């Protein structure tokens, strides 16, 4: 396993990351909301990259995992800037972004900001615009009125927290109201049994993307995490085929 390093992003703030050198393009894994670089999909993809001699970078957003910062003070725009900082400061040459859930939204924002650097995208239950469709009107009013919403999380003991700052940042960065001006190859994986991000959003994203090279795979019995052995094999196979075509 590569050692944890830190990238200073201004003042006393730094991002924790693990970087493996090798053949490019560099794979850059973007975790989901309240997740980090030590998740099962990220580590499995890193192990595969090591075996293939491929470059791989995974990291924690500010306020998450080993990175500094107050989680409650983070925004979607701030985390997008974290992704761009890693691309600009750590990676040499082209990157392929692999985004899980919210990371799928961030990969799109990063590709729009760095089209000359992003060679391909792989989304796993990608969730662009979830601040708009992922909350009821009552939940949105709670966020606006009280400044935060806390919900039980099915993935751990810590509650699922959404702050007003994050929600407002997400609303300002919505993409699916018009065509998404991304031209690189895109691969989208989604479980049809996903109860957090309905699989139809991958079809909507596929329709909105300007790229002609977009493929969507729907796993009939797959849940939101797509972390079973068969799901990981699908992810790795998808990444490998995409890399070989670039």
Q: Which residues are catalytic?
A: 101, 194, 224
Q: Which of 49, 56, 40, 38 is nearest to 96 (CA)?
A: 56
**Secondary structure, 3-state, the chain:** CCCCEEEEEECCEEEEEEEECCEEEEEEEECCCCCCCCCHHHHHHHHHHHHHCEEEEEECCCCCCCCCCCHHHCCHHHHHHHHHHHHHHCCCCCEEEEEECHHHHHHHHHHHHCCCCEEEEEEECCCCCHHHHCCCHHHHHHHHHHCEEEECCCCCCCCEEEEHHHHHHHHHCCCCCCCECCCCCEEEEEECCCCCCCCHHHHHHHHHECCCCEEEEEECCCCCCCCCHHHHHHHHHHHHHHHHHC
Distance in angstroms (rounded) separating the CA atoms of residues 165 and 148: 9
Structure tokens at 233: 């094999």
Q: Would residue 205 be called left, alpha or beta, if left means φ above 0 and alpha means ψ between -120 and 50 degrees?
A: alpha
């Amino acid at each position: 396993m590569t050692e944890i390093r830190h990238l200073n992003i201004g003042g006393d703030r730094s991002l924790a990351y693990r970087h493996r050198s090798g053949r490019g393009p560099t794979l850059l894994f973007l975790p989901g909301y309240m997740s980090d670089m030590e998740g099962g999909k990220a580590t499995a993809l890193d192990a595969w990259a090591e075996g293939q001699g491929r470059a791989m970078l995974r990291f924690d957003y500010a306020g998450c995992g080993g990175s500094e910062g107050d989680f409650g003070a983070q925004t979607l725009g701030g985390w997008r800037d974290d992704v761009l900082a890693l691309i600009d400061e750590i990676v040499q040459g082209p990157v392929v972004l692999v985004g899980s859930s919210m990371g799928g939204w961030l990969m799109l924002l990063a590709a729009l900001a760095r089209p000359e650097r992003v060679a391909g995208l792989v989304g796993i239950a990608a969730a662009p615009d979830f601040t708009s469709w992922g909350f009821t009107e009552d939940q949105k009013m709670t966020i606006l009125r009280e400044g935060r919403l806390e919900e039980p999380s099915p993935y751990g003991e810590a509650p699922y927290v959404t702050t007003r700052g994050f929600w407002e940042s997400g609303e300002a960065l919505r993409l699916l109201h018009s065509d998404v001006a991304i031209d690189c190859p895109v691969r989208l994986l989604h479980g049809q049994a996903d109860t957090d991000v309905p699989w139809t959003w991958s079809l909507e994203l596929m329709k909105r993307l300007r790229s002609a090279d977009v493929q969507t795979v729907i796993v009939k019995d797959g849940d939101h995490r797509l972390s079973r052995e068969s799901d990981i094999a699908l992810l790795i196979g998808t990444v490998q085929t995409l890399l070989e075509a670039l």
